[in-house]
Amino acid sequence: MAFSNVQFEPNLCSDPNIQIAYPITETEWKLEKNVLREFECPVCVNYANPPIMMCLNSHIICIDCWKKCQVCPTCRAPKTFTRAFVMEKLHSLINFPCKWEGCSYLGTGIKTNMHEMLCNFFPVRCPLGDCHSCSWAGNMGTIMGHLTSSHNRNFIHANHVVLKSKLFAISRKKDYTVIFKYKGSLFKFYWNFNLAIDSKVRFGMIAIGNGNPIVMFSYSLMFAKRFPISNDCRKLRIMKTQVKKNPADCSVIDRSLPGNSRRPIFYNFEINYDDLLAFCERSLDLKYQVSIEYSHLTNVWS
C-alpha cells in the first residue's frame, strides 16, 4: 500500500491536486497505520471494505475473495457467513490511503472508497490502443493530454455529432473507434463488422476509466439518409441506451487478469449490415448521428 506520499499537518500541501479529507497529525497516522494492517485481505492484499467477512478464528477476508474461497486462507477453517462488525465500524473511523499509485488522498473508509472512483490517478490504458497500436498507459489525470496530443482526429469535444463512414455500402470489413468528451467525462464509442464472419454490425459505448459514479449518461444512435432530419424523412432508425460504467472495458488496467489479457469487448446494439445499407447515400457512405445525454443522478450508496 502507498504510504510514502501522504501529507500531514501542519504542512498541509498547497498543491490543489493533493486532497486530504481532514487534517491528521503524524502521530495519529502512525497509530492508524498499525490498525490499517489488520484490514489487509490475506488473499488480494487490498484493504477490505464492508461487508468484511471472518472465519471461526476471527481471520478477516475481503468480500470478493470470500466469494472465491472455500476455507479460510489463513487457518483453513471452514468458510462461514460471519461478518466482522467491529472491523466494519472501525472502517468508518480510521483513515485509508487512496489505492491508486501516485495519489496522496487520505480519508475515512467510505470517503476513500468514493474518492477512488473519481480519483485522477485511476490507471488506464489508451482507449484507442487496439485500433491505433498505441501502448500508452497512464491515469485519468493524464489521459486528456495524451488523447489531445496523439489522437486529436479521434477525440470529439461534443456530445452530438453526425459521423460518416466512407464507402460503407461496398466494404466487407470495417471498424471505427472515437472518444467523446462530455461534461468532464470520457466515452469510447466503437463499432465494427466483418462480413467474412457474420453480417452483424455491432455498436458499443462505455465510460472510460471508472466513469463518474454519481452521474448517469445515456447515448443514442440515429440512422437516416439525410441530416439534419427533415419532416419528410421516410426512413429513420433510433436506438437509445444507458452508457455502461465499470464496463468490460479494454482500456481499464485490470490487475485481476493475468499479463496483458483483456476483457471481452462489450456491445450495446447489433444491426444487420443489410438493414444499414438502406441508409447509405448514393455516394455509398453511411451517415449516423451519435448523441450523449446526461441522464440522471444515481444514489451512490445504494
Q: Which residues of this protein are in contact with Zn ion, per CB under 5 A?
A: 41, 43-44, 55, 57, 59, 62, 65, 72, 74-75, 77, 98, 100, 103, 105, 119, 121, 126, 134, 136, 150
Task: Give the C-alpha distances (Å, rounded to integers) separating 213 from 4, 10, 127.
Answer: 28, 32, 19
- How many Å apart are CA 192 and CA 149, to the nearest integer? 25
Q: Contact 161/189 with Cβ under 8 angstroms?
A: no
Contact (CB, 8 A) for 124 and 246: no
* The three three-digit cell numbers of residue 290, written as one number: 451519435
> CA 35 to CA 70: how far, in whole Å?
27
Task: Name the minimum Å distance from CB 22 to Zn ion.
Answer: 16
Residues in the chain: 302
Closest to Zn ion by CB, 134 vs 284, is 134
28 or 40: whose CB is closer to Zn ion? 40
User: In angstroms, what is the minimal distance from the CB of 227 to Zn ion?
Assistant: 29
Looking at the Cβ atoms of 56 and 229, the one nearer to Zn ion is: 56
CB nearer to Zn ion: pick between 87 and 119: 119
C-alpha cell at 299: 444514489
CB of 88 to Zn ion, least distance (A): 15
Give the whole-angstrom CA distance, residue 163 versus residue 108.
46
CB of residue 172 to Zn ion, shortest distance in Å:
27
- Nearer of residues 124 and 169 to Zn ion, judged by Cβ: 124
What whole-number distance in Å separates Cα of residue 299 and Cα of residue 63?
22
Q: CA–CA separation, 21 vs 9, rounded Å?
A: 12
- Distance of closest approach, residue 150 Cβ to Zn ion, in angstroms: 5
